[in-house]
Structure 1
Amino acid sequence: MKINLLSDEKIVESWDKNAPLWVIAVRDGQIESRRQITDQAILDTVLSRSPRSVLDMGCGEGWLARELAVANIHVIGIDVVPKLVEVAQQAGGGDFRVMSYEEIAAGKLGVSVDVVVCNFAFFGKESVEGVFSVARSLLNQHGSFIVQTLHPVMVCGDLPYRDGWREGSWAGFSSEFTDPAPWYFRTIESWTKLFVDGGFRLLEIREPLHPKTGKPASVIFVAEPG
């Protein structure tokens, strides 16, 4: 399938359209992998760095910020979808703002935190590369950059194991979800290169396992400026 060069924009359009359904899916625990594995995995990883402040990129409806707030951590949550930010603001637990990755890459955020975390929200190409180019500037001394994403080996399917745009899917979600967003597939090698090119060194690569299948449910990268 040929996807045009506006694929990053198509991702935003899809999430804006499906935002209300996403809020329900998250808060009702409809996503099995999140409920059983990946939510706790990212929470444990962030807490392992003992941060006092966290920037949650692609915060969605704010669940991670609320969990971190319980540990008295100050959280700034940013998302490009106003509907999601509004819901997060209503629930509290953090300082939530509407902002795009492109605006962050342009230096418009102006914060410094102990941990920058992105939990399943780096699906584009140029927009994500832009964030990696400035991520170091958002961290305090000895800060950490943490990313949880789809495990490339598990989601590659029958397609070649190489970088490129893929068709989106809402498989496993309510039939009410529409217009799934395309996403940019990256290999483990390519993810690693993003960190290195951004001036980071990887400290850990975690692979949370599904309790039934024993296979990775995701991959979590933990890095610090190097």
Structure 2
Amino acid sequence: MVDMDNGWQKSARAWIADMGEAGDFGRRYVLDPVMLPRALAHSPKSALDVGCGEGRFCRMLKRHGVEVTGIDPTPALLAAARKRDATGVYLEATAERLPFEDASFDLVVSYLTLIDIPDIRAAIAEMARVLKPGGSLLIANLTSFNTACAGDGWIKGSSGRRLHFPIDDYLKERSVWIDYRDIRVVNHHRPLSTYMKLLLDTGLQLTHFDEPAPIAATPPAKAASYRRVPWFLVMEWVKPV
């Protein structure tokens, strides 16, 4: 069993309840409308979901005929994934040591998992290694502007109105405990340049970059905060043939 001192095993039940089947607000209204079409754009036959959690995105891809393998280091989340998808392939493993041969997958997905990975340098190299030539690495991540808030979140006035979102020590890589909705886990802050340099070093080529806003049908009050702060980014990197 992987060392679970990052809070995920203890937070698994709360995480599963928070996700439900449709995902939380950010996934449902901001990221899914971008991530799913991009994942399917090149008609991948095989996909690896790195940090699959309870398997929600794996199930979404499977419904479109993709043969998906999910890996995660958290046993409780894998148990939930297997319960919801009895025919799925869900393995206990870390992103830093993927148990697959070189060039095994048409598509590798990291859906809000880079912030959870301690050794991001090893993980990005591994994701590039298992990708087939011509295949895509599709990434959704919290923006580094977001993670540079050091877990403080919105600064509010005396009336409770959200005033601004703080950024501090942007260039300093660090880990911090994050608490929300009965979930307490470790997140890792890194400047965007760290991710970009590591991805470029693999030889992958950037073909898509976006900071998506909530879709038009989003509940207006909730959407407003996501438009004030650059919450997420989406990148697609292709392995040269």
Q: Cα deviations across residues 168-187 of structure 1 (Å, max 9, x unaligned)?
A: 2223x2xx33xx33322122
Look up the match of 2:209.
205
User: Does residue 217 of the first structure (1) align with residue 231 of the second (2)?
Assistant: yes
- Quick one: percent identity of the two aligned structures? 23
Instruction: Pick the structure with more helix per residue.
Output: 1
Match of 1:89 among 60, 68, 82: 82
* Change beyond 3 A, Cα 1:205–1:9: farther
**CA separation in 2, counterparts of 1:142 and 1:109?**
18
User: 1:135 Cα shift?
Assistant: 2.3
Q: 1:109 aligns with which of 94, 100, 124?
A: 100
Q: Which one of 174, 184, 191 corresponds to residue 165 of structure 1?
A: 174
Query: Quick check: 1:163–1:184 contact (8 Å CA) kept in 2?
Result: no
Whether contact under 8 Å (1:37, 1:210) holds in the other structure is yes
Equivalent residue number for residue 156 of structure 2 = none
- Deviation track 1:49-107 (CA, whole Å, cap 9, x = no partner) reads 32111100000000101111111000000000111111111211631111122332xxx
1:49-198 equivalences in 2 (<5 Å): 49-92=42-85, 94-104=88-98, 108-110=99-101, 112-124=104-116, 126-156=118-148, 157-171=166-180, 173=181, 176-177=182-183, 180-198=184-202
The CA deviation string for residues 7-32 of structure 1, in whole angstroms up to 9 with x for no partner, is x966x530111111111111165732
Would the aligned equivalents of 1:152 and 1:185 in 2 still touch at CA under 8 Å?
yes
The amino acid across from 2:169 in the alignment is P
CA distance in 2 between counterparts of 1:199 and 1:61 reads 31
RMSD over aligned Cα atoms? 2.3
Tell me which of 7, 10, 32 is aligned to 2:25: 32
Partner SS state of residue 181, structure 1:
strand
Q: For 1:53 and 1:154, how far apart are their aligned partners in 2? A: 32
C-alpha distance in structure 1 between counterparts of 2:171 and 2:56, whole Å: 32
For these two proteins, the number of residue pairs brought into alignment is 210
Between structure 1 and structure 2, the one with the greater Rg is 2
- CA contact under 8 A between 1:85 and 1:98: conserved in structure 2? yes
The 8 Å contact of residues 56 and 76 in structure 1, kept in 2 or not, is answered as yes
CA contact (8 A) 1:206 1:219 kept: yes
Q: Is the Cα–Cα contact under 8 Å of residues 112 and 142 in structure 2 kept in the other structure? A: yes
Separation in structure 2 between the aligned mates of residue 155 and residue 114 of structure 1, nearest angstrom: 30
State the distance in 1 between where 2:94 and 2:126 align: 13
Residue pair 1:61, 1:85 contacting (<8 A) in 2 also = yes
Paired residue secondary structure (2:137): strand
- TM-score (ref. length: structure 2): 0.78
Identify unmatched segments of 5+ residues in structure 1: 1-7
Shift of 1:158: 2.7
Residue 166 to residue 139, structure 1, CA distance change in 2 (3 Å): closer
Structure 2's unaligned 5+ residue stretches are: 149-165, 216-222
